[in-house]
A and B are shown apart, each in its own frame.
Chain A
């Protein structure tokens, strides 16, 4: 039961983008070791700019 709940929580965080920064840090550490990652604030803003530069919402 607890495992299920924690899986559901992980899913909710991922789908809402709540854990985006954590995932970015993990990806950054793997793909570009040695380079300093963006701060959370800057990452958040850069992501929003990218997300909203294309068609993201429909009729």
Chain B
């Protein structure tokens, strides 16, 4: 009787492969006017199913050799707190909630300037062969090392050089990440009283929920969250009232720079406040909102099957795109970043998640599976960007410095690219969304919100477009602010840890002067980059997002280098390509992108070219007075960005060369640092409750 189910399953997999291949082929070869988004969903699900069932299972069995009889750190070191064997679906939920951030929503939105095809292909291929593999391998190696962090593993397995490079790299990526996310929020709130008042309202709401969970009904997380979520929805409605009230709306109508100062001040106050009052309750709310909105968006896309209007490829693959400069290769990979491969995930896969794992055999589901879901979020963001009329998409996302300040100039230029749009169309759209204007709203959040609002609007009622738009803005803002707080805190802890080596009391995480000082340093660091972005005449995202992408891919390369080193040291050289191939690809794209960012003579790509160009104009007196006033600062900032890019690429190569040095010593029989794997202990956990 055995062969029958096997044959059925074989036929099933052949069918999935055929459907997936034809959906992918359909997307890739389609050259008509429009294409149904169901093709994207179908292709994604088939690719994920094959990746998970075949590739992840093969890696688990052959490369990592998962051992389900081996006790995990959660079992051996169970303390009822951070180390605790936990149901695999609960761990999956925690892990996904931790890795899913705003990155996969913003990246694909920006990358849609190349057309939908390049981004979509990279989200699928990069996710299945790169990002999910990185997350899974890191989770496995950290589990075998009592849940040690990526930095510690780099030090234990590669050596002090690789370890410190990983640590400094992590610190720097955090700074850039927070700055660029802060910029996205600021750009979404700029001159929008509705968005600003709603986002501001989330702060007292979170504090109320914090008080509720701590003092009114201690530990009642679900009650508090549901109450808070209801208040957040009210805040969206309330923002509409504020917007319609002449006196109130001026209170919340601000320039980007003012809002940036608010965000910076907020970041500092949030970092020194007790966690229970602001950070933790807002995180509960943002997790609720995040999961709810993702499910809602998936349902709306599947039920509604909106039509994708963006072409498969645009002429901007030559590097002349208005949203950010740079050719398809390597900038589509740098821009998509977290939706396909995210180095940040390695920090979650090492450290937090392995301490909850009840059994090693849950690793593919938790790490590989969560990353596939994250990749699917990126696909949905790509769909949301591509359902807009391309003309509208470019009008929202192109900075005024590229297409012109006047609406008539902007629509004329965008229409001349072959993406027709009219001033009237943009005005009507802005009116429907409850905004004053939608021209040059860079950063990705407004265009994603318009896309989501039009999908939600046609699925759940067209009359509420403005509500849906501001709901989407609130949803993005709330978890961007959570990442901002949490990131500042982590940066502070890392800094305190480093400074503690110089002056002991600074290392005490509860000593108030040290808390204030280190928080101020971290906030000042990201605050400066946020400031750079805000004063940039072109909206700043084109400066900071590539920098973020490069740093994120650099961290991913570090995680893959550590993984490759361990695989080879374990005597599995023939499988080293599993992490080695994505590592090589990341090294190529990060190095090429950094090279272009430094050396390109095109001022829209190269930081130095832009700095020199501006310096020449300033010397010749070719700049208008208001631009000439800030030009020296802009020139300094561009050079700073260039220095940072150089720093990232150096860190990347230090780690890769350190890994190669270790590997070549190992292969030629010389002594290397021993594997730091914890010894095998048999698992005693037989109860099914933990796992099922």
| Chain A residues at the B interface, C-beta cutoff of 8 Å | 11-18, 20-21, 23-24, 27-28, 31, 40-41, 43-45, 47-59
Interchain CB contact under 8 A, B487 and A57: yes
6 new A-B contacts at CB < 8 Å, known A14-B87, A55-B347, A57-B487: A43-B219, A44-B276, A48-B280, A54-B149, A58-B345, A59-B101
Tell me the B91-106 residues at the A interface (CB within 8 Å).
93-94, 98-103
Q: Dominant SS at the A interface?
A: helix
8 CB contacts below 8 A, A to B, read: A13-B222, A47-B81, A51-B280, A52-B279, A57-B283, A58-B103, A58-B344, A59-B344
Tell me the B295-329 residues at the A interface (CB within 8 Å).
none
Interface size of B by Cβ–Cβ distance < 8 Å? Answer: 54
Residue B463 at the A interface, CB < 8 A?
no
A13 to B94, CA, bound (A): 13
Interchain CB contact under 8 A, B509 and A56: no
From the candidates A14, A44, A56, name the one contacting B352 in the complex (CB within 8 A): A56
Interchain CB contact under 8 A, A52 and B80: no
Interchain CB contact under 8 A, A24 and B276: no
Q: Mark B194-219, 1 if CB is under 8 A from A, else 0.
A: 00000000000000000001110011
The chain B residue sitting closest to A20, CB to CB, is: B219
Residue B90 at the A interface, CB < 8 A?
yes
- Smallest CB separation, B597 vs chain A (Å): 20
Residue B220 at the A interface, CB < 8 A?
yes
**Residues of chain B lying within 8 A (CB to CB) of residue A11:** 87, 89-90
From the candidates A16, A23, A49, A57, name the one contacting B98 in the complex (CB within 8 A): A57
- Smallest CB separation, A4 vs chain B (Å): 13
**Residues of chain A lying within 8 A (CB to CB) of residue B149:** 54
Q: Mark B55-93, 1 if CB is under 8 A from A, else 0.
A: 000000000000000000000000011101011011001
Interchain CB contact under 8 A, A45 and B276: yes
The chain A residue sitting closest to B103, CB to CB, is: A59
**Residues of chain A lying within 8 A (CB to CB) of residue B489:** 52-53
From the candidates B80, B94, B181, name the one contacting A28 in the complex (CB within 8 A): B80
Identify the interface centre among B99, B219, B489, B493: most chain A CB within 10 Å of its CB: B219
| Chain B residues at the A interface, C-beta cutoff of 8 Å | 80-82, 84, 86-87, 89-90, 93-94, 98-103, 149, 177, 181, 213-215, 218-222, 225, 275-276, 279-280, 283-284, 337-338, 342, 344-345, 347-348, 351-352, 479, 482-483, 486-487, 489-490, 493, 509, 548, 552
- Smallest CB separation, B555 vs chain A (Å): 10
The chain B residue sitting closest to A49, CB to CB, is: B275
Interchain CB contact under 8 A, B275 and A48: yes
**Residues of chain A lying within 8 A (CB to CB) of residue B338:** 58-59
- Smallest CB separation, B351 vs chain A (Å): 6
**Residues of chain A lying within 8 A (CB to CB) of residue B87:** 11, 14
A31 to B399, CA, bound (A): 61
**Residues of chain A lying within 8 A (CB to CB) of residue B82:** 50
From the candidates B86, B214, B280, B483, name the one contacting A41 in the complex (CB within 8 A): B214
- Smallest CB separation, B103 vs chain A (Å): 4
Interchain CB contact under 8 A, B90 and A14: yes
A20 to B681, CA, bound (A): 28
- Smallest CB separation, B445 vs chain A (Å): 14
Interchain CB contact under 8 A, B276 and A57: no
A51 to B483, CA, bound (A): 14
The chain A residue sitting closest to B176, CB to CB, is: A59
Interchain CB contact under 8 A, B99 and A53: no
Interchain CB contact under 8 A, B352 and A57: no
- Smallest CB separation, A59 vs chain B (Å): 4
Interchain CB contact under 8 A, B214 and A58: no
**Residues of chain A lying within 8 A (CB to CB) of residue B218:** 21, 40-41, 44
Identify the interface centre among B98, B220, B280, B342: most chain A CB within 10 Å of its CB: B280
Interchain CB contact under 8 A, A16 and B275: no
- Smallest CB separation, B509 vs chain A (Å): 7
A50 to B337, CA, bound (A): 30
**Residues of chain B lying within 8 A (CB to CB) of residue A21:** 218-219
The chain B residue sitting closest to A24, CB to CB, is: B80
The chain A residue sitting closest to B286, CB to CB, is: A57
- Smallest CB separation, B154 vs chain A (Å): 15
